[in-house]
């Protein structure tokens, strides 16, 4: 049984949608990022999504890019990922996913990465820049270890591509949106809602919507049709500007939108 899917189901059974919170590892330093992740879990997150910093974060916005560059400049190393996950999972009892670009996994060794993540208590990987048809080695490793593999789906994906993503994803499908951009929200809400509907038609049991969600109202809107809302930038900004206490306050404000 997928620990991530179980967490989403538990939120649903409690009468709410799930809140998935993203933070970069190593920002502003390794220990603070560990404490921040624990605080995020204690402040209402159902699933943690942790991002090891990467030198070429092509999918990240400015706030997250600046945070990851700070982490790299402070000396973050890939092996610190497993140290952080181990400490976090020893302190909280919610699933921890690692959101990683694929090159570091390949450099580390796919099987070694899977084994070390499992040993640290991690639940799986979100892989934004690799598609299922190019991920045979990771699919095999995840099946061997029981780790979840979360692939991304976009509004531009063909039905054939969506079917492939659904077939090979476990935990949930990461449903890409750009929610909350001024002047475009209604159109983008419709695109995300339509995409989740398309994923359901291909058999997706769990779909979480991310990218651009930054308010409790936007969380509430997403959870009208999706299983979970994924928030990153708003949390990273809160940590940057207000420390761990500021992060806790922001997380509590966002989770107010999860009630159904």
**Catalytic sites, residue numbers:** 49, 60
**CB contact set of 167 (below 8 Å; sequence gap of 6+):** 132, 203
- CA triple 205-129-240, angle to 5 deg: 90
What are φ and ψ of residue 51, in 5° steps?
-110, 110
3-state secondary structure of 109: coil
Q: What are phi and psi of 193, to 5 degrees?
A: -65, -40
Q: How far is CA 244 from the centre of its chain?
A: 19
**Residues 192/169, Cβ–Cβ less than 8 Å:** no
CA dist list (Å): 247 to 36, 80, 189, 194: 7, 22, 26, 32
């Amino acid at each position: 049984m997928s620990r991530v899917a179980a967490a989403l189901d538990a939120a649903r059974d409690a009468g709410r949608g799930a809140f998935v919170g993203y933070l970069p590892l190593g920002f502003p330093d390794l220990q603070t990022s560990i404490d921040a992740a624990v605080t995020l879990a204690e402040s209402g997150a159902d699933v943690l999504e942790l991002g090891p910093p990467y030198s070429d974060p092509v999918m990240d916005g400015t706030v997250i890019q600046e945070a990851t560059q700070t982490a790299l400049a402070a000396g973050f190393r890939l092996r610190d990922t497993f140290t952080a996950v181990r400490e976090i999972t020893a302190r909280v009892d919610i699933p921890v996913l690692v959101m990683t670009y694929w090159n570091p996994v390949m450099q580390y060794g796919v099987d070694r990465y899977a084994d070390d993540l499992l040993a640290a208590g991690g639940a799986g990987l979100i892989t934004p820049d690799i598609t299922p048809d190019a991920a045979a080695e990771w699919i095999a490793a995840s099946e061997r270890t029981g780790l979840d593999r979360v692939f991304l789906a976009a509004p531009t994906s063909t039905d054939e591509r969506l079917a492939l993503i659904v077939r090979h994803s476990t935990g949930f499908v990461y449903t890409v949106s750009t929610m909350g951009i001024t002047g475009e929200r209604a159109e983008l809400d419709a695109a995300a809602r339509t995409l989740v509907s398309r994923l359901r038609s291909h058999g997706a049991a769990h779909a979480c919507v991310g990218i651009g969600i930054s308010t409790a109202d936007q969380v509430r809107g997403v959870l009208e049709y999706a299983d979970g809302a994924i928030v990153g930038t708003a949390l990273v900004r809160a940590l940057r500007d207000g420390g761990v206490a500021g992060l806790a306050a922001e997380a509590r404000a966002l989770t107010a939108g999860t009630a159904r």
